């Protein structure tokens, strides 16, 4: 062996080692992503529970990555607006899902599930959703119903909204006439389009135990495949509405979310796929402090084993993060995402302490009142 050759080989080995080190240093894209939804989990309540050692699985997950604050800065602090925004990356102006009462089906192709199906190809990724709620994370088709029936539904919805969440004074349908009969064309539910392009969409499971059991079964089924799961636990929201944010029932429901999150992670480890899986625990909205509703409850969180997350964010940032991790080129996503991946710099977007007046109904009302005051010469500034 000549001296020249041996130097060349040493260089080759060095280059090889350096390349290997570089590859190892770059974050490996995950094979799988799981979004675990804790419906109605208030950030302050979560932090108090963490301080008392009541959410060990959430803490263990965060220790591998991080836990950051997520604020709601657009759309209602309710379920329809929340999960739509979290799972599309858009503000309501682009999806048409503003609140529980004002919505339309999310436009075809806008959900993260449809985007990854398209990116990898139908057969190369399993998109499965198992959902505790029936209403608000739903996929009913558009219908035409008699006016009287619609009016009754609206009254009921307004009563619910008044007590609980959302904005009551929004129509949610187009009144028209068919063969001389007054009818209302009611839009499909938010997940009507998206669910048709997913491998599984099951809602109305209600209890955490039903959701959790289905999640474990689906993990077994998909252990050898690439997947994106949405696992949605509804019990904290239900307990909060029934017993209030400061109740033991609300705390217990969050403990149950934590236990099931732990079981899901344990299952990933048992199946040997935890290292290839990013897990994000997220929430759609919080609860008004000490109350049994979430009329304005914009403070939630994201806990994850994703080591790259390095800042607080907003609801729409979650979808952007997921799509980036799966290797999608976000500059090519149409329409442009409103969310920014949680490992990229972003302007600070914090929810104000008081609910901003942004609802069209309220704006119109304020305008009317102002006009009236101007006309009568009275004003209150
Ligand atoms: Zn609720």
Question: Is residue 184 within a helix (H) or strand (E), and if so which, with residue range?
Answer: strand 181-186
Distance 220 CA to ligand 1 centre (A): 31
| Predicted pLDDT of residue 73 | 96
165 C-alpha vs ligand 1 centroid, how far in Å?
A: 6
Give distance in angstroms: CA of 54 to centre of ligand 1. 22
Name every residue whose Cβ is closer than 8 Å to that of residue 95 and which is 6 or more positions away in sequence. 84, 85, 88, 106, 107, 110, 190
CA 164 to ligand 1 centroid distance, Å: 7
Distance 89 CA to ligand 1 centre (A): 21
Q: What distance in angstroms lies between residue 234's CA and the mean position of ligand 1's atoms?
A: 9
Give me ligand 1 centre to Cα 242, in Å: 10
CA distances from 87 to 18, 72, 245, 351 (A): 38, 14, 25, 20
Decide: 211 and 131 in contact? Cβ < 8 Å: yes
CA–centroid distance, 270 to ligand 1, in Å, is 34
* SS3 assignment, position 129: strand
Rounded to the nearest angstrom, the distance between the alpha carbon of 80 and the centre of ligand 1 is 10
The pLDDT averaged over each successive group of 10 residues in the chain (381 residues) is 49 52 59 98 98 98 98 96 98 94 93 98 97 95 91 78 49 83 92 97 98 98 98 98 97 98 98 98 98 96 97 98 98 98 95 75 54 43 39
Residue 31 · residue 226 · CB < 8 Å: yes
Interval between CA 77 and ligand 1 midpoint (Å):
9
CA of 238 to the centre of ligand 1 (A): 7
What's the confidence (pLDDT) of residue 245? 97
Q: How far is the CA of 279 from the centre of ligand 1 (A)?
A: 24
Whole-number Å distance between alpha carbons of 353 and 294: 13
- 3 state DSSP class of 243: helix
Quote the pTM value: 0.84
- The protein residues having their C-beta less than 5 angstroms from ligand 1 (an ion) are 237
Ligand 1 centroid to residue 39 C-alpha, Å:
8
pLDDT score at 328: 97
Q: What whole-number distance in Å separates Cα of residue 34 and Cα of residue 293? A: 28
241 CA distance to ligand 1 middle (Å): 6
**Contact in structure between 251 and 55 (CB atoms under 8 Å):** no
Ligand 1 center from residue 342 Cα (angstroms): 26
**Residue 79 CA to ligand 1 centre (angstroms):** 6
Within a 10 A sphere around the Cβ of 374, how many other Cβ atoms? 10
CB 198 within 8 A of CB 116: no
Q: For residues 126 and 113, what is the distance between their CA atoms, to the nearest angstrom?
A: 9
What Å distances lie between residue 187 and 141, 165, 171, 357, CA to CA? 7, 20, 11, 26
Distance 322 CA to ligand 1 centre (A): 25
Rounded to the nearest angstrom, the distance between the alpha carbon of 74 and the centre of ligand 1 is: 17
Please give the distance, rounded to the nearest whole angstrom, from the Cα atom of residue 246 to the centre of ligand 1: 15
């Amino acid at each position: 062996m000549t001296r020249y050759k041996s130097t060349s080989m040493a260089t080759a080995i060095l280059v090889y080692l350096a390349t290997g080190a570089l590859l190892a240093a770059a974050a490996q894209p995950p094979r799988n992503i799981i979004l675990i939804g804790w419906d109605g989990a208030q950030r302050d309540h979560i932090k108090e529970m963490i301080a008392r050692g009541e959410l060990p699985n959430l803490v263990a997950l965060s220790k591998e990555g991080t836990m950051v604050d997520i604020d709601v800065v657009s759309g209602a602090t309710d379920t329809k607006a929340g999960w739509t925004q979290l799972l599309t990356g858009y503000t309501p102006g682009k999806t048409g899902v503003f609140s529980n009462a004002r919505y339309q089906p999310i436009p075809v192709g806008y959900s993260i599930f449809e985007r990854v199906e398209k990116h990898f190809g139908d057969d190369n990724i399993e998109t499965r959703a198992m959902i505790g709620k029936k209403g608000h994370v739903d996929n009913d088709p558009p219908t035409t119903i008699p006016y009287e029936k619609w009016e009754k539904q609206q009254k009921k919805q307004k009563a619910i909204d008044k007590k609980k969440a959302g904005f009551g004074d929004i129509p949610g349908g187009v009144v028209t006439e068919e063969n001389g009969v007054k009818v209302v064309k009611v839009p499909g539910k938010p997940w009507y389009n998206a669910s048709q392009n997913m491998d599984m969409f099951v809602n109305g499971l209600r209890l955490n135990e039903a959701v959790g059991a289905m999640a474990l079964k689906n993990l077994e089924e998909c252990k050898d495949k690439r997947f994106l799961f949405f696992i949605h636990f509804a019990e904290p929201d239900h307990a909060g509405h029934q017993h209030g944010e400061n109740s033991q029932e609300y705390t217990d429901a969050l403990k149950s979310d934590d236990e099931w999150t732990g079981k899901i992670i344990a299952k990933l480890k048992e199946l040997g796929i935890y290292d290839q899986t990013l897990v994000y625990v997220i929430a759609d909205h919080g609860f008004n402090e000490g109350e049994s509703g979430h009329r304005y409850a914009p403070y939630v969180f994201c806990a994850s084993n994703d080591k790259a997350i390095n800042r607080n964010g907003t609801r729409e940032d979650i979808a952007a993060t997921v799509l980036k991790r799966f290797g999608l080129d976000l500059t090519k996503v149409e329409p442009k995402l409103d969310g920014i991946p949680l490992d990229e710099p972003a302007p600070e977007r914090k929810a104000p302490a008081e609910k901003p007046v942004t609802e069209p109904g309220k704006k119109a009302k304020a305008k009317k009142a102002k006009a009236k005051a101007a006309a009568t010469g009275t004003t209150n500034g």
